[in-house]
Amino acid sequence: MPPELQRLLDELDAADRDAKSVAEGLDEQQGTWRPSPGAWSVAECFDHLAVSNRVYLVPLRQGAARGRAQGRLRRKPALPGIIGGWFARYLEPPASVKTKNPRITTPRTSPPLADSLTAFLESQAGVHDFIRTNADLDLAGIRFVNPFIRGVRFSLATGLHVIAAHDRRHLWQAWNVRRAGGQ
């Protein structure tokens, strides 16, 4: 596995462990508690990440399939470009600017904690599988249509770095919710 892709896999593994730690010891009521009206619970943070990952993987897979059909094999490290790198860094915690999430990724209202955690971990497994399956492709050169920002195309590498940063952002949010609830 190329080193930058191994780092992404390690970051995804760290996110999995972090999510399990956030949920550890919470009962259903604590997992679905919201610190204020309109804020998300721990379970809703997990649900949002699960939905976002699933939605993002669809065009990533389509881009990879096109690239594979065109024979676009790895030429350089799978790193985001300047704009993609900026966008991934923008998503990193602490979230200094609150942004409105795309409607398609709005979490279910008060999903069960165990279900939302499982959905998140399953979505992460899909990202792991994507990386392992497509490590031989030119992930820095093949583009996909971003499903959340109309008209924007990112490299597959950028998409993967965005997923990892987005995970960290909302796990940070989930930890803040847990602390606000005194858990």
Q: What is the pLDDT of residue 108?
A: 84
pLDDT digits (tens, 9 = 90+) for 107-156: 888 899 999 999 999 999 999 999 999 999 999 999 999 898 888 899 99
On whether the CB atoms of residues 47 and 107 are closer than 8 A, the answer is yes
Interatomic CA distance for residues 16 and 52, integer angstroms: 15
Secondary structure (DSSP) of 61-79: HHHHHHHHHTT-B--S---
Average the pLDDT over 41-64 and give the result.
Answer: 97
80/5 Cα distance (integer angstroms): 12
Q: Which two tokens stand for residue 44?
A: 């809703």
Find the largest Cα–Cα distance for the chain. Answer: 54
pLDDT tens, position by position, 62-115 = 999 999 999 999 999 999 999 889 889 988 898 777 777 888 888 888 899 999
Tell me phi and psi for residue 153, to 5 degrees: -120, 130
Return the SS3 of 137: strand
Identify the structural domains of the chain with CATH numbers, from first to last.
3-180 (1.20.120.450)
Q: Which residue has the tokens 């462990």?
A: 17
**Whole-number Å distance between alpha carbons of 34 and 95:** 18
For the chain, strand residue ranges (E) read 143-145, 153-155
